[in-house]
Amino acid sequence: MERFQAMRLFTRIVELGSFTKAADDLQLPRATVTLGMQELERRLGTRLLHRTTRHVSTTPDGEAYYERCQRLLSDLEETEAVFDKAGGPPRGKLRVNLQGTLAKHFVLPVIGDFFARYPAIELEIGLGDRDVDLVREAVDCVLRAGQLRDSSLVARRVASLQQVTCASREYLARHGTPDTVEALRGHRAVSFLSQRTGKPMPFDFIVEGATKSVQLRGVVAVSDADAYHACCAAHLGLIQLPRYHIAPMLADGRLCEVLADFRPEPMTVSVLYPHNRQLSPRVRVFVDWLAEVMERAS
């Protein structure tokens, strides 16, 4: 069996967890799949898979080989696509990871538009805000908000989201409405815990052209955006976040913006991807589409 064919066979066995399913997926006889894996392990001189009657799993060598196969096969496919003179539409699987609230508010409600434009692309979408090793995890691109931490990736800014400081009307009636940053003394916050440090994040304000950070005390700390503004609506303190999270609450008066003259810098939204994906037709059209979606939201 040719080497790249053996790699594709091995990756499908790992992904599907079954020799039989891989054989069906690749339209190969079950005996060919078994023989192909035996030849591959013999050529490499190591065992790649643990096999039982019900389950297939990778050995440590198999896991390392799987990660390398993913990168090699992806690079091969992208290279062929770049030099494909037929000029066909982008096709194949695209693995992306989207920051959860951005995905739910802006991307997922219109995801059907992407498939209408590019029906030959298959998307695998992960949601979250963790640090993703794009190369090791074979992720093609991520959508993130805020300060970028990995300078080894290509970053394309796709939006700047206005940030606001607000509280419930009842909270302000009880504690007063601050009109300067100094007037925050004595106020309390709903604390938002940083995923990186586990500590409450400060409030930022632009005062005379410079950023001023203020750490407010609070009675509740959360690590989820929905819980954050829910606690604010329950009159537990001030919050600071991108406006889109709480636009309906501002519109109907449940929450009120304060210190509008001292708003922090807008939050940057970026798409990040490895340098070797710059020429990928699949990545390029998805990033362009994300930029369109987020531009409408800005």
- pLDDT of 113-124, one tens digit each? 999 999 999 999
Other C-beta atoms within 10 Å of 174: how many? 10
> What's at 22, amino acid-wise?
A
The model's pLDDT over 282-293, given as tens digits with 9 standing for 90+, comes to: 888 999 999 999
Q: How confident is the model at residue 22 (pLDDT cuts 50, 70, 90)?
A: confident
**Cβ neighbours of residue 121 under 8 Å, at least 6 residues apart?**
90, 91, 92, 93, 94, 114, 115, 282, 285, 286
Domains and CATH numbers, the chain: 3-68 (1.10.10.10), 92-160+268-297 (3.40.190.10), 163-265 (3.40.190.10)
User: What span, in angstroms and rounded, lies between the C-alpha atoms of 195 and 214?
Assistant: 19
Flag whether the pTM goes above 0.75: no
What pLDDT sits at residue 148? 75
User: What span, in angstroms and rounded, lies between the C-alpha atoms of 271 and 284?
Assistant: 11
Is 178 a residue whose pLDDT tops 70? yes
The model's pLDDT over 122-145, given as tens digits with 9 standing for 90+, comes to: 999 999 877 777 766 768 899 998
What pLDDT sits at residue 203? 96
